[in-house]
Amino acid sequence: MMEEAASQLERDHVHSVYDKIAPYFNDSRYKAWPKVQQFLLNLQPGSIVADIGCGNGKYLHINKEVFKMGCDVCRPLVDFAWSQGHEVQMCDGLHLPYRDGCFDALLSIAVIHHLSTKERRIRAIKEMARTLRVGGRIMIYVWAMEQKRRKFEKQDIFVPWNPNPQSPTDREPAKPRKRATAQSVSEAIDNADKHRKVRSTSSVADEEELTCTTPQQSTQRLWFFSRSLDSVFDFGSLSISRSSSRDLSTLSSPTGENERNKSSHWGRGRGLIKQVSSFFSPTSVIGSEEDVFDSVTNLHKGQNAPGGNNNSPENQSVSVSLAQECGSLALPDLVPFQKEHLKQSSDESEGGLQGKEQHESTKSSQGSERQVEGSCLRYYHVFREGELAELIENHVDELLVKHTYFDHANWCVVAEKVQICKI
Amino acid sequence: MKLLTHNMLTSHVKGVTKGYPLLIKATEVKVNEVDFNPQFVSRMIPKLEWSALVQAADELGHRQDLPVELVPEYEKNEEFLKKVHRVLLEVEVIEGCLRCPESGREFPISRGIPNMLLNDDEV
């Protein structure tokens, strides 16, 4: 049951979001993390390395002496990586299509934080470990809860996607696939330059979303709390503090068209609520700490399922309180902030979300109060200090943690595959 | 999909124990020119399942005279390395599918990309 819920959450708030935002992943905000680059450059010539969750393949051009392949669930991103001459496959991190011990090294950069339960995150790490040869190394990057300028108050969050305000004219038109691949020396050098200048990508933008410097960008700085799918359902712990809601007060309308920019994310959020709430029942038994969907007891107390008429205030509050529990939407106490801001922002004309036309338009009139690109909310489980290393130490015997460090907004681990002697 | 990649791929359908190597049915194959790096090829060879490579090359009609068994001291054998280079890195399946030898499940290859995603009932 929880497995389905976890899967569905990831489908809605990871996979489908990346499908939508894939075209925007290639602008100049994105650079390869230097330490990841160094990890790749330090590999023995003749190594075979896989980037699990490679996205648009930003790391696949590094080090022409090693054979690289990548995989991802997002078709548009994988297509792009292919167009750059890389060997890529579609697959999902919980079921890797590679034989045991075939890789000398692996990358998992900003990937497993998109898995919505601890159990799935462990499975993903174990799957990668399976494909690593003994002595091989894996580098894992995940978003840190402790950021430079702020600390997330919760670990399970939704983060809206913020396109580059300058975008689409900056983007290069898609190039025809390079015939000779990055394996060839001269091409690799070309590619490397190209990548460094234009096409290099990374999760730096993610950090920028969180710790942006310009006032304009700060209007887009925002996240929503999500209920952890791992912990026992605790209504008391769901409130958002005022300090974080202050951020929401700078929320801007992506288009400045308050009237017409309906709460696409209400529609989406309601969809999530519907799906999630369908797993809840008043009679559920409280299970283990890991089984949140079994442990919710009173979510449905006196509430009708949302998803029907969006316009009535009663349904609004029903949905909102459900949303509060699911944490997928702005909380009602933030509405006043948003209203204030709407006045300000109605005069601004922003670059606008290029993907605006991709948003569902709903009929809800309260939508005008919800300006967030909700259909592009990405789910993250941000990691506490030490959490990733602990996860590996306690649950993945076949990996030995060699290094852990903090890199910009990420917790990072390098681990080595070890032989397990089963007696 | 290059054959070096194919050499690493396996069927991971639930319950399958003999999912390697995947059988290739190709409807479009391309041969590219890729710069020859003998050390690179030489270092790849120990990581390969050699018989799977030969079988795959055969399926594509590109085996030419690749031997069934690895020649001894191939590191210095440039002629041999060139043959391996061609088969590993220059031959590419653009369209077709990969078939699990045990379950028969077919994984499509389109636009050069194998789609190894499993359906819910296969995990």
Q: Is A91 on the interface with B (CB under 8 A)?
A: yes
- Ordered alpha helix ranges (H), A49-200: 75-83, 118-131, 185-194
Range 66-95 of B in CB contact (< 8 A) with A? 89
Write the CA distances from B30 to A177, A186, B108, integer angstroms.
13, 20, 17
Nearest CA among A32, A31, A36 for reference residue A49? A36
Q: Where are the domains of chain B?
A: 3-114
For A355-358, which contacts have Cβ atoms below 8 Å and span 24 or more sequence positions? A355/A20, A355/A21, A355/A24, A355/A163, A356/A254, A356/A255, A356/A261, A358/A20
Q: Is A48 on the interface with B (CB under 8 A)?
A: yes
Determine the pLDDT at residue A161.
Answer: 77
pLDDT at A185 over 60: no
| Residue with the two structure tokens 């993610």 | A206
Name the phi and psi angles at B67, rounded to 5.
-75, 155
Alpha-carbon span A17 to A272, nearest angstrom: 14
Q: B107 pairs with which residues across the strands?
A: B98
> Cβ(A372)–Cβ(A270) under 8 Å?
no
The enclosing H or E element of A405 equals strand A399-407
pLDDT at B30 over 80: yes
Give the strands of the sheet with A156-160, arranged side by side.
Answer: A224-225, A156-160, A377-381
Mean pLDDT of A89-94: 96
Cβ <8 Å between B117 and A184 = no
- Ordered alpha helix ranges (H), A11-60: 16-21, 34-41
The predicted model scores a pTM of: 0.68
Least confident range from A17-26, A192-201, A263-272: namely A192-201
pLDDT in tens, A294-306: 222 233 333 333 3
How many separate helices (H) and strands (E) can be counted in chain B? 4, 4
**CA of A180: which chain B residue's CA is closest?**
B34
- Domain B3-114 belongs in CATH node 2.20.25.10: yes
Closest-CA distance, A191 to chain B, in angstroms, reads: 14
Determine the pLDDT at residue A22.
Answer: 84
Closest-CA distance, A79 to chain B, in angstroms, reads: 8
Query: What interface predicted TM-score (ipTM) does this complex get?
Result: 0.97
Instruction: Retrieve residue B82's tokens.
Output: 């060139």
Other beta carbons within 10 Å of A214: 10
Cβ <8 Å between B40 and A65 = yes
Confidence of residue B28 (pLDDT cuts 50, 70, 90): very high
Task: Tell which of B43, B91, B118, B121 to mutate to test the A interface (max A CBs under 10 Å).
Answer: B43
Judged on CB neighbours under 10 Å (0-12, 13-18, 19+), A283 is: exposed
More confident residue, B27 or A372: B27
The enclosing H or E element of A413 equals strand A410-417
Mean pLDDT of B1-21: 96
> Cβ(A264)–Cβ(A373) under 8 Å?
yes
The enclosing H or E element of B85 equals helix B78-85
> Cβ(B75)–Cβ(B42) under 8 Å?
yes
Range 151-180 of A in CB contact (< 8 A) with B? 177, 179-180
Q: Is A181 on the interface with B (CB under 8 A)?
A: yes
Least confident range from A54-58, A157-161, A353-357, B117-121: namely A353-357
Cβ <8 Å between A82 and B32 = no
